[in-house]
């Protein structure tokens, strides 16, 4: 795994594209570090808020000479956000050990950069039935920018039908990948 | 895009929560998905796992390796 701090000079200069490259590399590890909080907080919201805060504080970030300094900061921000939300919801204790391991860099989930994998996913996506395919494309194109009821309305579907079509697309995609020897459980392990 | 071992009655909720869309509060902070509160522990873990796998696939499909989460964050920053 390469050091994501290679993007640091450009990020410190306010380069949003460089921040995007950094986010692409950091997201799997950040998300994995929050697994123990999955029952306690909405981890998607925590991940997004943590990245926004990293961007806000990045200009003042000072590297300590060890690899992945900004990622370690992001993990701390995400952890603090999760703890804060956990306290707010008065939930029981979570597995802080997993977070410590994550902060120590032991969460080794990699970003999906394999071009062959990309081609395979694209081929499987192209083979989806029409309605599941348009539900999948709608979500991909919206990129988290619009709520499901908005996307559903645009496609002339109820929200429930839209989600059912999306679920079908997801499962068919997974089955197709498995038939071609790609097991996402292994990829994500 | 890892499904649960068997179909769940909360599947539409899980699918909704596993998406990357999140509303903002008046201060601009990201809110929890409203349907996250309707999930039990099993459903929340399921949503987490579905999201993790979905983001992996989304990033794999994107030429820059950006998932929907990454794109939502960058769009939010650009909009400021």
Q: How many other C-beta atoms lie within 10 A of the C-beta of residue A36?
A: 18
Over residues A123-150, mean pLDDT: 95
What are the structure tokens assigned to A62, written together? 């000072």
- Is the pLDDT at A136 greater than 80? The verdict is yes
- Is the pLDDT at A165 greater than 80? The verdict is yes
Q: What is the rounded CA–CA span in Å between residue B77 and residue B80?
A: 5
Nearest neighbour of B53 by CB, restricted to A111, A148, A184:
A184
Q: Which residues of A touch B9 (CB under 8 A)?
A: none
Total tally of structural domains belonging to chain A: 2
A94 pLDDT tier (thresholds 50, 70, 90) = very low
CATH number reported for the structural domain that contains residue A125 in this entry: 1.10.10.10
Q: What is the rounded CA–CA span in Å between residue A143 and residue B20?
A: 7
Please check whether residue A109 lies inside any domain of the structure: no
The answer, for A86 touching chain B at a CB cutoff of 8 Å, is no
The answer, for B57 touching chain A at a CB cutoff of 8 Å, is yes
Q: Contact A156/A165 with Cβ under 8 angstroms?
A: no
Q: Look at A45 and B33 and tell me if their CB atoms are within 8 Å.
A: yes
Element (DSSP H or E) covering residue A119: helix A115-126
Are A137 and A181 within one domain?
yes
Q: Which residues of B touch A78 (CB under 8 A)?
A: none
Please check whether residue A156 lies inside any domain of the structure: yes
Q: Look at A167 and B15 and tell me if their CB atoms are within 8 Å.
A: yes
Are A31 and A91 within one domain?
yes
Taking only the tens place, the pLDDT of each residue in A15-28 is: 999 999 999 999 99
Dihedral sign computed on CA atoms, order A139, A113, B63, B78 = positive
Domain that holds residue A141: 115-188
Q: Contact A86/A38 with Cβ under 8 angstroms?
A: no
Q: What percent of chain A has pLDDT over 90?
A: 73
- Is the pLDDT at A102 greater than 60? The verdict is no
Taking only the tens place, the pLDDT of each residue in A27-71 is: 999 999 999 999 999 999 999 999 999 999 999 999 898 999 999
The answer, for A189 touching chain B at a CB cutoff of 8 Å, is no
Q: How many other C-beta atoms lie within 10 A of the C-beta of residue A18?
A: 17
Over residues A63-91, mean pLDDT: 88
Q: Where along chain B do its domains lie?
A: 11-79
Q: What is the rounded CA–CA span in Å between residue B66 and residue A157?
A: 27
A1 pLDDT tier (thresholds 50, 70, 90) = low
State the pLDDT at residue A163: 96
Residues 17-56 of chain B whose Cβ lies under 8 A from any Cβ of chain A: 17-23, 29-33, 36, 41, 44-45, 47-48, 50-56
Compute the count of residue pairs across chains A and B with CB atoms less than 8 Å apart: 172
Q: What is the rounded CA–CA span in Å between residue B25 and residue B37?
A: 16
Q: Contact B63/B11 with Cβ under 8 angstroms?
A: no
Which residue in A179, A18, A112 sits closest to B74, CA to CA?
A: A18
**Per-residue pLDDT tens listing for chain B (80 residues):** 555 455 566 889 999 999 999 999 888 889 999 999 999 999 999 999 999 999 999 999 999 999 999 999 999 999 98
Q: What is the rounded CA–CA span in Å between residue A131 and residue A156?
A: 11
Domain boundary among A55, A83, A103: A103
Q: What's the pTM value of the predicted model, to 2 decimals? A: 0.88
A106 pLDDT tier (thresholds 50, 70, 90) = very low
Please check whether residue A110 lies inside any domain of the structure: no
Rounded (5°) CA angle A53-A90-B15: 65
To test the contact with chain A by mutation, choose from B48, B63, B66, B79 the residue with the greatest count of A C-beta atoms within 10 A, namely B48
Q: Look at A31 and B2 and tell me if their CB atoms are within 8 Å.
A: no
- ipTM, two decimals, is 0.90
């Amino acid at each position: 795994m390469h050091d994501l701090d290679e993007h640091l000079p450009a990020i410190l200069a306010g380069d949003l594209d460089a921040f995007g490259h950094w986010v692409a590399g950091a997201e799997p590890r950040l998300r994995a570090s929050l697994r123990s909080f999955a029952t306690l907080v909405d981890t998607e919201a925590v991940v997004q808020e943590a990245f926004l805060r990293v961007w806000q504080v990045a200009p003042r970030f000072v590297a300590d000479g060890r690899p992945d300094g900004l990622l370690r900061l992001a993990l701390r921000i995400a952890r603090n956000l999760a703890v804060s939300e956990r306290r707010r919801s008065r939930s029981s204790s979570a597995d802080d050990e997993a977070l410590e391991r994550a902060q120590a860099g032991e969460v080794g989930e990699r970003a999906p950069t394999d071009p062959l994998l990309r081609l395979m996913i694209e081929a499987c996506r192209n083979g989806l039935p029409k309605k599941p395919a348009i539900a999948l494309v709608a979500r991909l194109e919206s990129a988290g920018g619009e709520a499901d009821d908005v996307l559903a309305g645009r496609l002339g579907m109820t929200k429930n039908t839209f989600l059912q079509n999306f679920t079908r697309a997801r499962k068919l995609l997974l089955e197709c990948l498995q038939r071609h020897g790609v097991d996402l459980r292994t990829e994500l392990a | 895009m890892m499904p649960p071992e068997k179909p769940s009655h909360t599947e539409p909720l899980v699918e909704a929560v596993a998406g990357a869309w999140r509303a903002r509060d008046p201060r601009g902070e990201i809110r929890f998905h409203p349907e996250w509160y309707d999930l039990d522990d099993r459903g929340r873990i399921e949503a987490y796992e579905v999201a993790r796998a979905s983001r992996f696939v989304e990033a794999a499909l994107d030429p820059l390796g950006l998932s929907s989460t990454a794109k939502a964050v960058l769009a939010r920053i650009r909009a400021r």
